[in-house]
Amino acid sequence: MTNRYEAMPHIESRVIPVDPFDLVIFGGTGDLARRKILPGLYRRFIAGQMPRDARIIGAARGDMDSDAYRKMVSDAIAEFGGQTKGSADTLKSFLSRILYVTIDARGEAGWSELQELMKGTGKVEAYYFSVSPALFGDLAERLQQWGMANSDARIVVEKPFGRDLETAKELNATLARYFEEDQIYRIDHYLGKETVQNLMAVRFGNMLFEPLWNAQYVDHIQITVAETVGVGGRGEYYDKSGAMRDMVQNHLMQLLCLIAMEPPARFDPDAVRDEKLKVIRALDPVLPHHIVRGQYEAEAGDENAHPSYREAVGDPRSKTESFVALKTHISNWRWSGTPFYMRTGKRMSARSSEITVVFKETPHSIFGAEAGQHRNVLSIRLQPNEGITLGVTIKEPGPGGMRLIDVPLDMTFSEALGDDAEQVDAYERLIMDVIRGNQTLFMRGDEVEAAWAWTDPIIQGWQTRGEVPKPYDSGSDGTVDSRELMRRDGREWREVAP
Ligand code: NAP
């Protein structure tokens, strides 16, 4: 694919090196480390962003030496590194920066060895908690006991951050005993996606959109995060969580914040997070008839077809939702009267994450009734094929009078910007931000608590009313009543398209 913008000198690959660092990955042998963190770090290494003396230290209970761990890392890169392979020498050089410590978050094993490794290095120290959330408190406490919770250290905390407001508060309080808020990096990897940042660039870097970004011009906004996978091997965890906790409370609400927030005064961590927090606090409670839940049915077919949700989690009476769709409002001047619709689910027809801003119809059609009423639709695709499309109305070419059609102005980033645009995965970007000390794309403690304060009553309502999720077909776009939720308002969901 030729780079359409190759004559534009300002769009080019630029790698800003970060300060020398030591990154300790607790849970360095786990699924997340192997699939995302380690291949991501390798890509940053290939890009020339990792300083010469940076080290990556894997830490878990599994008994192995650094050589055995390097083999594991090399295998993970081969399996999950995508097309980014690098030469054999490059890989060797990357692996030479990798160490492993056998450590138990709840015991004494390994801590003096880690302490010795981290002593007086003068580098940025980052500790990635890629372990079960039940161990976050133990790790924070151990780091302090062993003198590693110094004021420059950073901890990276994975989701889920609590399972309700109470547990999130407890976790915040526990971490706050050992670390300051500006040392805590709560990851929501959706915030690391290229398009999410582009959403801010489009909104606040152009004059075109912001004047129209309000209830006067926007009819409604849709946010869809559809997955084709089922619960897979995560059934036990997922069944205690469900789509509301696993997806809406974090990823979808973060997207809602970015699309709806007021322009921050500066693109800096607290200015951006203050504005996001205001959005969450202005969200109306969700009325019971404005939210629907579903559970996927078994796929039709032979014995290899996917099982139903209940079969997958091994509980024929499970009331946990694998799909949720809801309508909410933001009670402030900008958005009063504009509904926000959100839906997410597993085993849907396509893997697709998209935010759609549907503008109002023109107030009057000068072309007569037969030309129909048209609206502009701005669609921001997060995955796959990250990009932004603006639907505009034009005249259908050719003779036959003034017939109007909608056509997309399409900016698929991979096409527009060449290969460089595709290379930085969310995890890579976020880890480099941790090293830089930039918290803009991480959730602050009060944001997480506010999000739980909004979701808790919804979940409690389901429990109190004993509501059972409705079935939906695997490979569909969710439950029938999710479509009704829209149709009642005279609207339609966007097609879930790959
Ligand atoms: P996982 O595959 O179960 O890995 C857990 C890791 O923790 C292993 O390396 C394990 O190794 C280590 N570990 C367990 N107990 C330990 C202890 N007492 N002390 C030190 N290390 C211990 O889990 P995961 O899927 O990688 O998930 C890690 C975290 O990321 C979780 O919080 C999860 O919710 C979150 N997350 C994961 C994904 C994903 O795609 N996997 C996505 C989003 C968030 P040993 O057993 O050898 O100690």
User: What is the residue with the minimal CA distance to atom 4 of ligand 1?
Assistant: 30
Query: Ligand 1 centre from 260 Cα, in Å?
Result: 34
Give residue 365's pLDDT: 84
Give residue 173's pLDDT: 97
Kindly indicate the confidence band of residue 464, based on its pLDDT and cuts at 50, 70 and 90.
very high
Atom of ligand 1 nearest to the CA of 61: 48
Name residue 355's beta-bridge partners: 223, 380
Q: For 224-272, give the DSSP string.
A: EEE-S---GGGHHHHHTTHHIIIIIIIIIHHHHHHHHPPPPSSSSHHHH
To which H or E segment does residue 97 belong? none
**Nearest-CA neighbor of 326 among 353, 362, 288?**
288
| pLDDT of 8 over the 50 cut | no
Query: Ligand 1 centre from 134 Cα, in Å?
Result: 10
Kindly indicate the confidence band of residue 2, based on its pLDDT and cuts at 50, 70 and 90.
very low
To which H or E segment does residue 219 belong? strand 218-226
> C-alpha angle 195/198/200, rounded to 5°?
125
**Nearest-CA neighbor of 474 among 290, 302, 347, 350?**
347
> What are the pLDDT digits (tens) for 198-244?
899 989 999 999 999 999 999 999 999 999 999 988 899 999 999 99
Q: Which of 26, 31, 346, 443 to mutate to test the pocket of ligand 1 (most atoms within 8 A of CB)?
A: 31
Ligand 1, pocket residues at CB < 6 Å: 26-33, 60-62, 103-106, 130-133, 135, 158-160
> What are the pLDDT digits (tens) for 93-148?
999 999 999 999 999 999 999 999 999 899 999 999 999 999 999 999 999 999 99
Query: Ligand 1 centre from 298 Cα, in Å?
Result: 29
User: What is the residue with the minimal CA distance to atom 39 of ligand 1?
Assistant: 32
Give residue 5's pLDDT: 39
| pLDDT of 384 over the 90 cut | no
- Report the share of the chain in percent with pLDDT over 70: 94
- What average pLDDT is seen over the chain? 91
| pLDDT of 302 over the 80 cut | no
Give residue 231's pLDDT: 93
Query: Ligand 1 centre from 25 Cα, in Å?
Result: 10
| pLDDT of 421 over the 60 cut | no
Give residue 369's pLDDT: 78
| pLDDT of 47 over the 90 cut | no
Q: Which of 69, 131, 249 to mutate to test the pocket of ligand 1 (most atoms within 8 A of CB)?
A: 131
Give residue 230's pLDDT: 95
Name residue 129's beta-bridge partners: 26, 157
Active site includes 251?
yes
**Nearest-CA neighbor of 439 among 156, 247, 42?**
156
Of these residues, 251, 290, 306, 374, which one is catalytic? 251
Kindly indicate the confidence band of residue 12, based on its pLDDT and cuts at 50, 70 and 90.
very low
C-alpha of 286 from chain center:
22
Least confident of 266-270, 384-388, 420-424: 420-424
Query: Ligand 1 centre from 26 Cα, in Å?
Result: 8
Give residue 374's pLDDT: 86
User: What is the residue with the minimal CA distance to atom 48 of ligand 1?
Assistant: 61
Give residue 33's pLDDT: 97
Give residue 420's pLDDT: 52
Give residue 154's pLDDT: 97
| pLDDT of 168 over the 80 cut | yes
| pLDDT of 7 over the 50 cut | no
User: What is the residue with the minimal CA distance to atom 46 of ligand 1?
Assistant: 61
| pLDDT of 413 over the 80 cut | no
Give residue 305's pLDDT: 85
Give residue 114's pLDDT: 98
Q: In degrees rounded to 5, what are phi and psi of residue 382?
A: -90, -35
| pLDDT of 15 over the 50 cut | yes
Give residue 296's pLDDT: 97
Give residue 481's pLDDT: 96
**Nearest-CA neighbor of 465 among 344, 289, 347, 238?**
289
Query: Ligand 1 centre from 131 Cα, in Å?
Result: 3
CA distance 143 to 115: 9
State pTM to two decimals: 0.93
| pLDDT of 10 over the 90 cut | no
| pLDDT of 13 over the 80 cut | no
Least confident of 88-92, 286-290, 397-401, 481-485: 397-401
